[in-house]
Homo-oligomer: A and B are copies of this chain.
């Protein structure tokens, strides 16, 4: 499969926010940016994540294109329930995909570079499926809740309150512009942050 064919499956030039599924035995999902530039495609994965371990070991995974904010938020903080996965047979193995994606592309790793914190892999598209999909107007509430999830994972790592302010700004846009699905995602996100803040504040009081 040629890189140029990725256009058909929604992975275009620039950084595509997708949900990466990996783990042939124990399927795992996590939101990742896929970088496509000059007809080559890359991902960067940070050490310590399940995705990092899976891809390092198996060197194969799927990039799932979806606009479902609940899947993005849930997979930012924990794994998705088993019912969200299905399997795609490839040679003698089977790759986990997201069941309700608009499309899914199977990639294998080409050259991998390791740094202290992360690995960067050039990735090669092998096969793809397009599911039943519909046009969708741009919704600022959708992107805002996904941005908020990015800030929330940084808050989890650092405990820095500036991320809470950024999340507040995103939430304002989500509640103003989002539909019910965006608001459901926001609620899951805010609950996760609340639990995390309790841990951070608890940690501080015992210092």
B residues near A18, Cβ cutoff 8 Å = 137
**Contacts A7-B134, A9-B135 known; A14 to B146 CB distance under 8 Å?**
no
B residues near A139, Cβ cutoff 8 Å = 12, 14-17
A138 and B179 contact, CB distance less than 8 A? no
B residues near A181, Cβ cutoff 8 Å = 13
Number of A residues whose C-beta is below 8 Å from B? 40
**Whole-angstrom CA separation of A65 from B18 in the bound complex:** 22
A–B complex contacts, Cβ < 8 Å, 27 sampled: A10-B135, A10-B137, A11-B137, A12-B136, A12-B137, A13-B181, A14-B139, A14-B178, A15-B139, A16-B139, A17-B137, A17-B138, A17-B140, A18-B137, A33-B177, A36-B179, A65-B135, A65-B136, A65-B137, A130-B134, A130-B135, A133-B135, A138-B142, A138-B143, A138-B146, A140-B143, A140-B146
